[in-house]
Every structure is written in structure tokens, then in C-alpha cells.
Amino acid sequence: MPLLRIRAERDRMSAMERRIADYIVENAHFLRDYSSQQLADALGISQSSIVKFAQKLGFKGYPDLKFSIGEALARDGGNGNGHAHDDTDAESTQAHPHAQVADDLWRRKSLAEQETRLLNPPENIDAIARAIHRSNAVFVIGLGEDGIPARAFAMKLSLLGILAVHHFDPALMAAGLSGASKRDVLLVFSEQGQQPMLSRMLQDCQPRIGHVISVTRHSANPLRAQADMTLLVSAHDDRPHIAPLLYQAALQHLLDLIFVLLCDAREQRLAAVNTNLERMQEILSP
């Protein structure tokens, strides 16, 4: 999935690398006709810059990158996103006026989830799940809209029998963290990772707590830099009403994966989930 990898890494690239990345993504179907020198000429840069770009992505050189992109396009029916088009899609679009919108949204969400998965290696996910599994308590915070997934994840941890302390106020969370220990974990949800209040809270509590896990976009930000573990979300769209939907979908997929790993970590965890769900159903039943 070379095009997915390029999109996922884009925000961490230099200005020149972003130019190369954007050109390759936009012209992927024509890349087979470009040599590294022709691509460099089209961008007005040196041939060595193209070679270094390919190597930075983990390829031996530009021919290896070009071949990988060509294979991906052929395998995925020509779109490079892992979803081949077929005649059923075309018929559906003609039959339903909103079908094209629905199909585009589904594809964009799927792409965001795939990019997010590439940004979070399995060993990092395992380490975070292990830290939560072994903790005495998990403190969870998110401000504003970030509070919604924070609260939902804290509830899932509670279903597992894990002590989860959720706050939406940094001052209250700071007070709660005064008794934290090295066996505890702090999960900080912040899409942009820019809130100064959260940064100050982390500075105060970090010497006492075992792990600080930030949940942010994968762009560079203060909270990500302060945390010793990170969950990174990739979601790009020029439309301001679509971008948050992609972020929420990719984030939810990431959190669901951790929840499932925690369920599988110990039989008692899964038993606790089933028991607590039954109790909730009994309480809500008329």
C-alpha cells in the first residue's frame, strides 16, 4: 500500500518531500511512464531528491517504489486505495441520487482507518494495551469534543473491570492525579494536541504516573511530544464538514482494537464485560 503510506507520512515530510508526495499521489496512474529524472524535471528538483524520497519510505530506490505503486493499482482495480470499482457500484449510483455521496464517505473513512493503522505499529498498540491491562487505574481526559471519545473509552474500560477515572476539567483531573502512582496510566485525548492547560497538567503529574498516552492527530504537537506513548490518527479532507467525520471513524477503529486486545488479554476481562452488559440490560429493561 505505497500510496497509503505516502499519505500517512505526508504531514511529517519536509516541504520538498510533500511536493514529491502530492505529485506521485495525483499522477500515480502515469508514474510507470516516468523515470526518476523525468519526475525530477517535472518538479524542478534534483534526481537525487527523488531517490532519497523513495528510500525514506523504505524502498531500495525509485524503480522499486514505481513498481510497488503499479502493482497496487493493478491489484485494487485502478484506484490504489484498496477498493476496486465494479459495475454494481455504477448501477447503485444511478439508482440512488445519494449513493455516490455514501460511497465516497465510506471510501474516505476506510482510507483514514488504513492510514491510521499504518501509523500505529502492532508493537506500539500491544505496549499500550499491556500498560492499560497492568495498571491499577486509568485516568482519562478530553476537553470539548475530545471529551466524547474519552468518556466512551473510559466506559469501555469500566466494563472490563478496569478502574477508569474520567474528567473533562484539567483542574479536577490534576487534583485526582495527586494520588496517582507508577502503576497508573493517563490517557489524554486532544485532536490537535495544542491545549496549554493539558500541557501544564502533564508537566505536574508526569513524575508520579507510570505512563502518559496521548491520542492526537499524527502532526507534530506539544502533547504528543510530552507523552511517552502515542496513539496517532490520520484523517485528511479539504472539506471542513467531512474531516471531523474521518477523524472520528479512524479514532474509533483504533480504540476498538485496543478494547478487543484487552478483552483477549485475560478470560476474567471478557467475563466482566459480559456480566456488566447483562447488568446494564437488566437495569434498562422495563
> How many whole angstroms separate alpha carbon 79 and alpha carbon 135?
44
Q: Which of 85-94, 101-110, 260-269 has the lowest mean pLDDT?
A: 85-94
Segment 52-56 shows an average pLDDT of: 90
pLDDT at position 198: 92
pLDDT at position 82: 45
Segment 18-35 shows an average pLDDT of: 85
- Which phi and psi angles does 216 have, rounded to 5°? -140, 175
Check whether 83 has a pLDDT greater than 80.
Answer: no
pLDDT in tens, 131-147: 999 999 999 999 999 99
Q: In terms of Cα–Cα distance, which of 213, 199, 224, 204 is closest to 131?
A: 213
pLDDT in tens, 240-271: 899 999 999 999 999 999 999 999 988 888 88
pLDDT at position 12: 80
pLDDT more than 90, % of the chain: 41
Question: Considering the chain, what is the average pLDDT of its residues?
Answer: 86
Segment 43-63 shows an average pLDDT of: 89
Q: Which of 81-90, 117-126, 257-266 has the lowest mean pLDDT?
A: 81-90
Q: Side by side, which strands form the sheet with 211-217?
A: 164-167, 138-142, 185-189, 211-217, 229-233
pLDDT in tens, 163-217: 999 988 888 888 888 888 899 999 999 999 999 999 998 888 888 899 999 999 9
Domain 2-85 is of which CATH architecture?
A: Orthogonal Bundle (1.10)
Options 1.10.8.60, 2.60.120.10, 3.40.50.10260, 3.40.50.10490; CATH of 122-284: 3.40.50.10490
Check whether 69 has a pLDDT greater than 90.
Answer: no
Segment 79-96 shows an average pLDDT of: 50
Q: At what angle do helices 243-265 and 147-159 cross, to 10 degrees?
A: 20
**Domains of the chain: which residue ranges?**
2-85, 122-284
Q: Which of 1-5, 50-54, 184-188, 258-262 has the lowest mean pLDDT?
A: 1-5
Segment 228-251 shows an average pLDDT of: 91
